[in-house]
Amino acid sequence: MFKNIRFKRISIKKSSLKSFGFFLLFSSFIWFFVQISKEYTQVIDIPVSYVNVPIDKSISKERPGNLQMRIQDKGFAIWYYQIFRPEVKLDLSKASEKDGELVYNFEANREVLEEQVNINFEKARFIQESLAIEFQPKKNKWVKVTPSIDLGYAVGYSASEPVSLQPDSVQVSGPEDIIDTLQNLNTVYLKINDINTNVSGRVKIDTSNLGMLSFYNNEVTYSQEVEKFTEGSVKVPVEILNLPEDTNISIFPKEVLVYFQVNLKQYEMVKADNFRVVCDFNDIDDGDDFIIASIAESPSFVRNLRLNERKIQFVIKR
């Protein structure tokens, strides 16, 4: 019986403690809600970042700090600003240049700033009227652009001239130590297959790993004239170079076929006299019975040259 009475007293104490805790939390919640519903005047810090930095300027600090405002608002609004800290982007294209600094006027851009943060600006004041931002002038330089374009032609088609870019150079600005070492830029890699007509388009410049630089133009236009090509051949005599005066040599074959590709419009312009095939006597070693022939001269407008026979048999007659 005593055990039952003792257990009953303990149960009553636990129940009272739970009730007390509930009312304590509830009253604390009510007190907190009442407090944050009141109006307060508070200075808040709003983080800022830069956008649209002038291309000819290098900003000394990427993150300038905070925009300070004195606001009068409900406690829960102030608590929201202090906890979540919404960021404001300062458009430096709207800043003025004064005494070697960019000056961003908060009052002049009040409407733009108001769109970015949910603040009643009628009850807010800027602690400072403007923000002065230090910068360093960037060095400008024209840099040549090289095409990284792989063109694959359909059968019977090719091009006489390489891919051309317009413009072939772009203006770049940035820190002097980086600009001085930059000699060339590439386009991003582009591959086109089965081409049977003129090609053209736009391709971006590869600016990877060049984040410190600003580009006045990020794209260039590429183009190439594609033409119908055909294959032909001519028979050309083989010449021996550096032959000693007291040496006679007999070679076989005395003539070889030179195969080539040429624009169909220029096919009739190709003559055997335009080519020269030679072997160098100085390349002969003891025990050799042949010498390697090569094409020494050819028209500038033909391509993919090859010989039907490169090993020229010979016999030396003393």
Pick the last residue of a domain from 87, 119, 137.
137
pLDDT at 5: 45
Taking every pair of Cα atoms in the chain, the longest distance, rounded to a whole number of angstroms, is: 142
How do strand 227-241 and strand 214-215 relate by DSSP bridges? unpaired
The rounded percent of the chain whose pLDDT value lies above 70 is 78
57-109 tens-digit pLDDT: 877 655 566 777 776 666 556 666 666 667 788 888 888 888 878 888 888 88
pLDDT at 245: 85
Residue 57 and residue 135 in contact, taking contact as beta carbons nearer than 8 Å: yes
CATH number of the domain within which 270 lies: 2.170.120.30
* 296 and 266 part of one domain: yes
Q: How confident is the model at residue 242 (pLDDT cuts 50, 70, 90)?
A: very high
Q: How confident is the model at residue 115 (pLDDT cuts 50, 70, 90)?
A: confident
Residues 121-138: what's their mean pLDDT? 78
Q: Average the pLDDT over each of 9-18, 64-73, 197-206, 235-244 and give the range with the smallest value.
A: 9-18
Residue length of the chain = 318
Residue 90 and residue 96 in contact, taking contact as beta carbons nearer than 8 Å: no
Pick the last residue of a domain from 225, 247, 273.
225
Which residues make Cβ contacts (< 8 Å) with residue 173, sequence separation at least 6? 55, 56, 138, 139, 140, 141, 179, 213, 214, 216
Per-residue pLDDT for 288 more than 60? yes
Does 156 map to a domain? Answer: yes
For 190, the domain range is 139-225
* 114 and 204 part of one domain: no
Pick the last residue of a domain from 103, 137, 171.
137
Q: How confident is the model at residue 119 (pLDDT cuts 50, 70, 90)?
A: low
Q: How confident is the model at residue 1 (pLDDT cuts 50, 70, 90)?
A: very low
Residues 249-254: what's their mean pLDDT? 93
- Tally of CB atoms within 10 A around 279: 25
66-78 tens-digit pLDDT: 777 776 666 556 6
How many domains are contained in the chain?
3
CATH number of the domain within which 121 lies: 2.170.120
Distances (CA, A) of 267 to 275, 291, 298: 14, 31, 14
Residues 222-227: what's their mean pLDDT? 95
CATH number of the domain within which 211 lies: 2.170.120.40
Residue reference for tokens 């048999």: 313
Cα–Cα dist 237/255, whole Å: 4
Between 139 and 43, the more confident residue is 139
Cα–Cα dist 151/146, whole Å: 15
Residues 151-160: what's their mean pLDDT? 90
* 48 and 132 part of one domain: yes
Residues 207-215: what's their mean pLDDT? 86
pLDDT at 63: 53
Per-residue pLDDT for 2 more than 50? no
- The rounded mean pLDDT for the chain is 83
Per-residue pLDDT for 45 more than 80? no
Claim: this prediction has a pTM higher than 0.95 = no
In 54-198, DSSP assigns E strands to 57-59, 66-74, 88-91, 96-98, 101-105, 124-126, 130-137, 139-146, 149-153, 157-158, 164-166, 169-174, 184-186, 190-195
205 secondary structure, DSSP code: B
pLDDT at 61: 57
Q: How confident is the model at residue 30 (pLDDT cuts 50, 70, 90)?
A: low
211 secondary structure, DSSP code: T
